[in-house]
Structure 1
Amino acid sequence: MFEAPREVGQDLISEGISIRKDNLPRVLKRLRDEGFIEERTMHMRGYARRRKAYFLTPKGQRVAEELYKEIASERVSYKDVEGRLRSLTLRELMEEEGLKKSQLLSLLFRIWEGEGTVTRTMIDSILKGEKTDRVAYLNEAPLPHVFYGREQELKELSDWCMDRRSGIYVITGIAGIGKTTLAAEFLNRKREEFHVFWKRIHRWDSLKSILSHLALFLASTGRPRLKSLLATDKDIQLGEIVQILKEDLNGTGTIMAFDDFQRASDELLGFFTTWKEAIEDTEGIKIILIGRHVIPIYDRREVVLEGFVKEMVLEGLDEESSRKLLGEKVKNEEVFRRIYNITKGHPLFLKIISTTSEPVGEMDIKRYIYEEIFKNLSPEEINLLSVASIYRLPVSSNAFFIDEEIDFRTIDNLVEKNLLQEISYDYYEVHDIIKEFFYRRLTPIQRRRLHRAAAQYYLERGEKKDLVEASYHYIRASEIYKALKILLTHGEEMIAIGMTDEFYSTLLNIREKDVPEELKASYYYLKGEAEVILGRWDTAIRTLREALKRAEKSDDDLVAADASRLLGYILIRRGERMEALSYFQKSLRRARALGDQRRSTLALIDLGELHSLFGDFQTAREYLRRSLKQAEEVSDKDLMSRAYVSLGILYTNWERPEDAIKMFRRALGLLKKSGNLFEMGRLKSNLGILYTKEGRYDLALKNFEEAIKAYKGSGEVRQLGYALAGSGEASLRIGDLKTAEKRLKEGLSIFRKLGEKLKIATTSFTLGELYMKQGEMEAAREYFEECVESLKGVQNPTYLKKYETMVEEYLKKLRD
């Protein structure tokens, strides 16, 4: 009895050409009617009953042979075992690797899935008779012809993929630094283990266009629901789309990369934000977002605390990779070091140098880069780069249209050449090497004109964060008075939104002798306020006393009230209770004389905190309740939240945790609406202290870490010290001595710099405890002695007696 092989039956034909079995009979009928195949019913290996089998007719064999010759003459890219990329015809490839004609279809499917590139792994799977069930949707992904280095970055991405939880990895970096190359190489390496998907975002991409690519990708993995949904005429809801993506991708082991994400429209950002939230409780969905700046679809909490989002800021190539890219061009170590120090491993500049025919060791590296770039620029492009060179920060295209010759075509050309970097939609910046060159070519008159135009650009934008830049450009344009008016009018607003460093450095660009007499009191006060926040307390005391002296001389009660309050703030934390009390009372009197409800409320809060710190809890509560009442009368939510936090601290010190929690919760409700970064950090830090006292160390550490994150982003040094020291103590209580030591020493370093004696004492004491646990007795003794010495300068007998007793007990143990 003749048996037909299973390969000519419907089951394996359907599987072999990836056509659903219920569609196959129609296709076979058409081929049979046209005389290409014949159908027989016969016994088939593996089946009890006779089955339909299909064979080529002579006509079909001729057509098949012609198709084979045509297809086999097509060229493909082949990455061999040594990583070399070669161009071969399919016939050459099959002959070289020993593939049979019957295996051409398997090869074609793998090429289509991999979008054009053949790998050694692909060949091996065909020779072994394996069928990969992984889909590679990589038609827009560039295949690096040469790939150097980045092994650490690839390892980090691989380790991330090993975690079963879904997540997002954000890769950022300047133009030309290799973000796309790295991600493309990574996906190409993972295509046999994961489904992989690549989509480059273009300015014109809509949500529908992105979804159409995702639908095709999902359908090729056997999940056609999204494709079917998009084919309907019904009004599709975003939630429905996201639910399909969540369900169909969950647990599949899929890596999806979206390149040039800085170009995503608001519509796409909304989609990705919703999609991100939907996959947080899933497994096996890995999304890589590649762009020139941090993507605004997540917040820092998801990076620092939750780990759902990871970030990689890609910098230049390492030294070894840079050497490989330069090749034989640079052999002298001294010359290489000079090149590397100038280019910082930027691939674009290294490639420019590698193509020169001149002896590299004899040339001016920077000059050569400039000349190679400059000679290929049009007058309009030179003009635009000259304008762009004056800006410190990325700007929109409107900032360039100072000259009528500059248009969007000029911008697009420079972006294409990687000389102008589009870091987000319609926002651009220039690489520092290019910026330096073009700025130096400007005459003094040109510089002043362009800086004046830049200042106007920032003022027209009308956002608080742009006022610092407007001031900077007025200073560079030698228009000092205009810069001062902006800084002094809006200084407190800039500080409140966390721009203390930027404000202070800009203010320092103005020489004191250039400040008009009528503005000097305000100038010194705002400079002193920034110095307080930045932790430069010794300088701040001198600056604020100068502000107070000038304010009293000119009867400026507003500046006098503010300067007095800040002087009290520093002195109370340095243990100078009576002098601090005097300054707070002066501030309160001046604020009341002015009828300034806000300033008098702040003074009441300060007086309450002073009495709380020194154990007079009844008086402290009285002041803080009065401050809260005044804040409520004027409906000032910032002041209300501050009063609630201060009451929570009071009740924590008073050993009344339930009352403290009530106050902190009320503050939290207000702060979630106002977004006050400073006060939220203070709240989180003090919640951490409360939870530490209650032994709830997991909650304590969570709140301390959130506070650290808030303060590292705002520049508030003192509160950062509190959060670090608190985190260190909580870590010590759970036995994490390594983290405890690191955090406590970081906190102590801040308190020493500030001269905050009470916190130096308490943090030194905790470090003494830590070293006792580690058996390092001499180190423990040194910290206990620092604790006692610091307390001697604090006008607080309660704290002094408490810590002296505890230190004596530990010292006794050391002696024993």
Structure 2
Amino acid sequence: MAKGQQNLFSLSNRIILHIDSFKIYYEEIDIVTPPKDLVQRYIALGVGAKFNQVRARLNELLRDGYILKVQTRPLGFSRAVSVYLLTEKGRKKAKRLKEEIDRLKIRVRDEHGRIYEESIGELKKRIFPFPKYNEIYLMLKREGVVDIARLKDYRRHGVKVAHLGDSPVVTRLYGRDMERIHLMDGLKSPGPSVYVVKGIAGIGKSTLVKSVVEFFLNETNIFWYTMKEGDTPGSLLRELASFLKKCGATSLENLLKAGRERPWTLDELKDALKRDLTELFAILVIDDTHHVRRDMNFIYTLKAIKEVTINSRGLKTIFITRHDVPYYSRRDEVEGHVEIIHLKELDFEAVQKLLREKGIPEEYHETIFRKLGGHPQVLELLRRDTTDFEKIPDNVTEFVVREVIEKLSPLEKTVLLQGCVLRAPASYKLFLREEHVFLAHVDLLADKSVFLRTYDGLYYVVDVVKETVKSLYPKATFNHYYDMAAEYYLEEGDAPSIIEALYYLMHRERYDDAFKAILENYELIISGGYLQELKDYIEQLESSPRELKDSADFKVIKAYTLFKFNMIKECLGTLQEVDEEAIEKVHLKADYHIIYGYVYFLQAQWHKSIEEFQTALEIAEHEKLEKSRIIALENLGMVYWKTGEIQKGKEISAKALQEAEHINDKTLK
């Protein structure tokens, strides 16, 4: 490697480049949950240097103002440690370094063995996902040449992509040795491609699977998704598409992008999954699949993933569930494609190990086992300060009430009630909305095993406590906390948060507020890929006691959604229900005419389409609706192109594009 190249890749520069490659985590995600790659020992691994050398350079970079050090709990850690981030000065330095490195000429060996020189910038255009700059450096240092075939193989099969999101943080596992070894061997062998881990709530299904897949973090790509109440296939597929894109496969992402304009079919989904997954080496984990209930679209989606897994080369899929769900069949088991692992309660030996770890005296172990059995989640709730283990209830509900809930402080009970309304793990910031609640209260419940932490730093109540609390307290007790959750997610303001807020608003029967949220955010929801969720909530509102379905605004949004689902006849029928007098008063007056323009365009009624888009444009200009104006302009240009007036269409479309670039609106992208 030339001297100039070595200077660019000095240890200090490699550290800056390493931290910069993870900037998305601390720019777009709250600082309390950065990845472990920003901890000192993982920085050393990433830059290929010794720990002591990296420590010295980090101190120099701190002194010179390129980085800063914060104490926080990274993803997957159970305690706070030092994490290193770039300052503004450091980011500017990283940007300059990358520009210089992109111009570097390096020796490259192509798939046919030919060696030639090419700039790193040119190489980046041909390989996706492109490796980190330090990976290029380390390959050049070892071999003097970048091997394209090995680089692609490394990015595809190497360490790869770990999408662990809302998987639990596993700090200990008791018993389960046989199941753990069996599952681990199965993931390594060419045996069954699909495993179904089944058992009652809190029996340790997710903990077992997470403890196993963590062993494969440095060997293969790993994806984890936890389903929640009211989930849709789109939620799972969006996360899966994001994971697959990082692995270099984009068919599913492209399908979902197309789905923002029209719904995809099951055959299209199967085809996209087949293209992305057949040659991929990865472990997919889909947790809590019992939440699919009778949702046939979700069952078909899980079936498609199962079928692609069975016919793939290096893919393994693990489904976690409380009971049988019809995405696999008895025939799959008989033919050896699917294997069921049914978890039972822990035996006495494992229970003893757990109780010793908790510091509970040996003389009470048999009594506890006799009363509570071997349910790990229940046993984890035991506290060593219990005064008389002989008197603990042998009924789980009574045990949770007496030994857990009644021993919490008032503020801890408040946090617990907050957690019990949530359908998915949540940020600590949601809990802090309650007066006098601090992060320490949330962490204390986690320390008492009442809450669990996820890999990405979120919190949720363990099943056995949540089910007990929900059964004990009247529904009205939780109303305040449903409202709090709704307001929190509305303030977050992105598409997934709006969908989450709608869940809580509908649960509270705040139908007017739910419709207001849809009215203000329906374009954001659709552009975010939540078209099916929007349609579902519109149908729920339509059948609600409120007379929302009679409002012109409601009908316009419903018509737009039907249009997106290519239900043109139903869309027209809904638009025709809006009388002329009412349309003059609605918020979505311009949108009303835009939708009519779309419909006429599809019917090749060009003159009527132009009239509607022109009317929408005039309304948007009169009422200063920038976004509606741009949409109307863009569609006018499209109609003129279609009718052969290409120059006119080109001018109008160019004007729409120019105006769109001047306003900051994600839905116009």
TM range (shorter): 0.3 to 0.5
Q: Normalised by the size of structure 2, how large is the TM-score?
A: 0.45
Identify, as 1 or 2, the structure richer in helix: 1
Tell me: higher relative CO, structure 1 or 2? Use CA pairs within 8 A at least 6 residues apart: 2
